[in-house]
Every structure is written in C-alpha cells, then in structure tokens.
Amino acid sequence: MAMLFWFGNLFYVAVLLVNAVAVLSEDRFLARIGWAGQQDQGFGGGDVSIKAKLINLISAIRTLMRIPLIMVNIVIIVYELLLG
Amino acid sequence: MAHQRPAFTAASPPLLHHPVPQHPIPSHTMRSPPPLSQASSGSAYAASPYQQQQQQQQQQQQGMPSMHNLGHGLHPAYGGFLADPAAQIGLQMGASAMKNSREYIEQNMNRYVNYTALKHYFNVSNSYVLNKLRLVVFPWRHRPWTRIPKAVGPGQVDGMFLPPRDDLNSPDMYVPVMAFVTYILLYTMLAGIRGHFHPELLGKLASTAFAIVLLEILGLKFGCYLLNINNESQLLDLVAYSGYKFVGIIGIILIQELSTNGWLRFLSFFYFFSSNAFFLLRSLKYVLLPETSTDNPRGTVQAVARAQRNRRTQFLFIYSYVVQFVFMWILTMG
C-alpha cells in the first residue's frame, strides 16, 4: 500500500497522465465529441464552465508539453532499459 | 619549513645510539588549544577563523620574517603548514567560496520561498497551539470560524490577516509540521516496539506522507482551476490545512496501538476522521467560497453565481470528506 506513494511512482503516474492527455487526437477524437480546441472565448472569462476549462487545459497541454514530453519519455525509457 | 630543520639539528647534535625523537613532542594533541603565549605571538594555529583572515593580511604585509617567527616555538609541522603561502591561499579561497555559496543560497531561497509569508505562519504562542490542537480534535462546539483581518489604521483593513498568535482561526504551519514529524517518529517507534524497525522505514514513511500532501495540494489546485477560484496568495494556507490531518492520525495510531479491541480502533478512526473533516470544511470555507466574488446584484448573473457556489460547495465537501478519508486510511492502515 505504502509503496504506491513513493516519489518515483508518483512521477511516473504524472508523466503517464500527461502522456494520456497529449496523445488525444484533435480531429479524430476531440472534434467528434465536441471537445475541440477553443472557439474564441473573448472576454467572457468571468464564468467559464468546467467543460470549457477542461478543453482549454487539454489544448494547452497538447501544445505546450509536446516537446518536453518527448524528452522526458526518452529519458525514462533509457533509464528503464538500463536499470529497470 | 625546510630551512628550520638544519638550524634545529645544529643546536642539538643527533644521537645515533637509539631512536630519539628528533623534535620536541608537544604535550598537547592536535585539537587542543595551545598556550596563550604562543597565541599572542601571532601564530595562525591558535586563532579562530575570523582572526585568521586578519592575521593573514598582516602576515602578507610583513612578508617573510613573520613566517620565520611563526614556526619558532611550535612544532614545525604545525606552525609551518599554516604559514605556507599555498595553504593561506587555499584558506582564503575556501572562506570566500563558503561565503559566496551561502549568499547564493540565500538569494535563491528568497526568490523561491517567501520568507516573510512563512514567518507569519510560525508566529504562534503556547496557548494558540494548545487551543488549536483542541480545536482539531474537538471542533464541534467552536462558533466563529472567520478569520480576523488585520487592521492597519482605525477602521481600515488591508488584505492581511492577524497572525496565528492572535487569532485561533488562522492557519499556522507549526502544528502541521510538528504533527508530520511526530507521525513519522511515532510510527517508526511503534514498529520498533513490535520489532520491525528498519532505518529505511523512516524514509519510506516520510516519502509517503510528503507525497500524499503533495498530491492533495495538486488536487486542490486543479479543483481551484476548474472551479475558477483564484487564490494564488493562499497556497501556503492550503499546505497548512492539509497538514492538520496528521494530528488526528497520531491519535488514531496511538489508540490503535493501546487497544486490542477492534471496535474501539474503528471508532477512533471514524471519530478523528470526522472531526478533521468538519474542521477542514469549516476552515476552508473562506478559501474556497469567497463571498466577495459572488455579490453581483443582477438576476441572471446571480443564478450563475449560485450554481457556481453549489459546485464549489460540493467540491469542498468531496475534498474534506472523501479525499481525506482515503488519505487518512492510507496513512493509518498502510
């Protein structure tokens, strides 16, 4: 039980979750369920719904984390191959 | 150092029959302070590091003669190596490196950690700590839960609140930090009594507990992001509140250890869990449900605001009951 919460495992879980978000395809999956990127929210930022926030977050992760994620994944793969 | 040895041997011709120490062996050991007479003669050996720097400068001004005097009454290996120019350069470099690194650390600590904000959380008194502990364990009868804003002038308030010393409802870091450390030590001690102690257990527990607090803060921040609650300034408040559960956890562990009755163990868990959850529910209300952001007088906006408020209340409930239940269960039973 306690092993679940070691820092290494927590880090792995975080990386895997971010991977899971980043791997979502914009036009094959997100557009079909209506979660495609933002359509110009303008200045209505006062009362944004949870869904809009989630969509915003997903698109932000997809654009921002792509290149860092490639690096982190490569590092983890090499580490696991050598020492895991 | 090299020119001192022939002078010494010339003064007392070497005996060849049996091994005799070539130099007078000093009675004191390496670390004991030498007699005062030597210290007053300017030996760098006797001086403290601060005096050494001054003396080094003096010696550099005086040049070679002072070096010659230095090793006179002393064992050449002692007086010699400090008078060595290379050693002095090394000492100075070491001192300056220490100073630079300390300054660097202080600068960066100031950049990443807000010292004054942290100091506010440790401004506690004995009576505050006792009352707060009582409040965490028994929060049912406590009446006003709002924090007292700090008055700048007569009738004026700024965004600050009174420190924990003056306000029981203010969050502090002292109780959570102490409870955190106590939890780790207590758990390890109980494991030791049962004969399962291993040094690794300390690190494992600390890592687990810290990771849980981290996870909790991340979850709270994510919820705040989703629910549009902007409380950038109150991250430390959230850290403090997530640490109060260790007080209850200590109580649970103690009761579990002292009693063999299964019912009592269960009951103690549920009592401490519910008291902690109630405490969090009441205390976090001002963080997660700020009244100022929802007092818009127009009708439709008010309806939206009410829906938002409902969602926030649900989030607060889920955080302080469901999430806390899972974490306290892991920390006590794990």
Residues B72 and B137 in one domain: no
Quick one: B34 exposed, middle or buried, by C-beta within 10 A (0-12, 13-18, 19+)? middle
Q: Give the single-character DSSP code of B316.
A: H
- B89 in a structural domain: yes
Confidence at residue B176, expressed as pLDDT on a 0 to 100 scale: 93
Q: Residues B210-216: what's their mean pLDDT?
A: 89
Confidence of residue B246 (pLDDT cuts 50, 70, 90): very high
Confidence of residue A1 (pLDDT cuts 50, 70, 90): very low
d(CA B165, CA B37): 53
Q: Hunting for tokens 């001002």 — which residue is that?
A: B286
pLDDT at B166 over 80: yes
Query: Pick the residue with more confidence: B161 or B193?
Result: B193
| Nearest CB partner across the interface for A48, out of B204, B228, B301 | B228
Query: Pick the residue with more confidence: B136 or B29?
Result: B136
String of DSSP letters for B197-236: --HHHHHHHHHHHHHHHHHHHHHHHHHHHHTT---GGGHH
Residues B147 and B176 in one domain: yes
| Nearest CB partner across the interface for B226, out of A6, A47, A53 | A53
Query: Pick the residue with more confidence: B139 or B286?
Result: B139
**Pick from B43, B276, B70: nearest CA to B175:** B276
| Nearest CB partner across the interface for A7, out of B211, B333, B334 | B211
pLDDT at B186 over 90: yes
Assess contact for B324 and B245: CB atoms under 8 A. Answer: yes
Residues B316 and B238 in one domain: yes
- B67 in a structural domain: yes
Assess contact for B217 and B238: CB atoms under 8 A. Answer: yes
Residues B51 and B193 in one domain: no
Confidence of residue B261 (pLDDT cuts 50, 70, 90): confident
Residues B95 and B142 in one domain: no
Q: Residues B107-125: what's their mean pLDDT?
A: 77
- B58 in a structural domain: yes
Average pLDDT of chain B to the nearest whole number: 75
Residues B193 and B50 in one domain: no
- B290 in a structural domain: yes
Query: Pick the residue with more confidence: B114 or B313?
Result: B313
Least confident of B42-46, B84-88, B134-138, B274-278: B42-46
Q: Does B334 touch chain A (CB under 8 A)?
A: yes
**Domain stop point among B58, B79, B112:** B112
Question: What ipTM, to 2 d.p.?
Answer: 0.77
- B38 in a structural domain: no
Residues B277 and B166 in one domain: yes
Measure B305 CA to nearest chain A CA, in Å: 8
Q: Residues B177-189: what's their mean pLDDT?
A: 93
**Domain stop point among B88, B112, B136:** B112
Residues B313 and B281 in one domain: yes
- The residue range of the domain holding B195 is 122-333
Assess contact for B180 and B243: CB atoms under 8 A. Answer: yes
Assess contact for B286 and B298: CB atoms under 8 A. Answer: no
**Domain stop point among B61, B80, B112:** B112
Assess contact for B245 and B328: CB atoms under 8 A. Answer: yes
- B29 in a structural domain: no
pLDDT at A49 over 90: no
Query: Pick the residue with more confidence: A43 or B66?
Result: A43
Residues B194 and B325 in one domain: yes
Residues B165 and B296 in one domain: yes
Residues B155 and B100 in one domain: no
Instruction: Kindly determine whether residue A6 and residue B211, on different chains, have CB atoms separated by under 8 Å.
Output: yes
Confidence at residue B247, expressed as pLDDT on a 0 to 100 scale: 93
Among all residues of chain A, which has the CA nearest to that of B332? A2
Among all residues of chain B, which has the CA nearest to that of A2? B334
Residues B154 and B290 in one domain: yes
Confidence at residue A47, expressed as pLDDT on a 0 to 100 scale: 55
**Pick from B70, B334, B86: nearest CA to B201:** B334
Q: Which residues of A34-43 are buried (b: 16+ CB within 10 A; e: fewer)?
A: ebeeeeeeee
- B211 in a structural domain: yes
- B167 in a structural domain: yes
Confidence of residue B66 (pLDDT cuts 50, 70, 90): very low
In Å, how far are B176, B177, B184, B246 from B188, measured between CA atoms? 18, 17, 6, 15
pLDDT digits (tens, 9 = 90+) for B25-51: 655 544 545 444 444 444 444 444 555
Total count of domains within chain B: 2
pLDDT digits (tens, 9 = 90+) for B194-206: 898 888 888 888 8
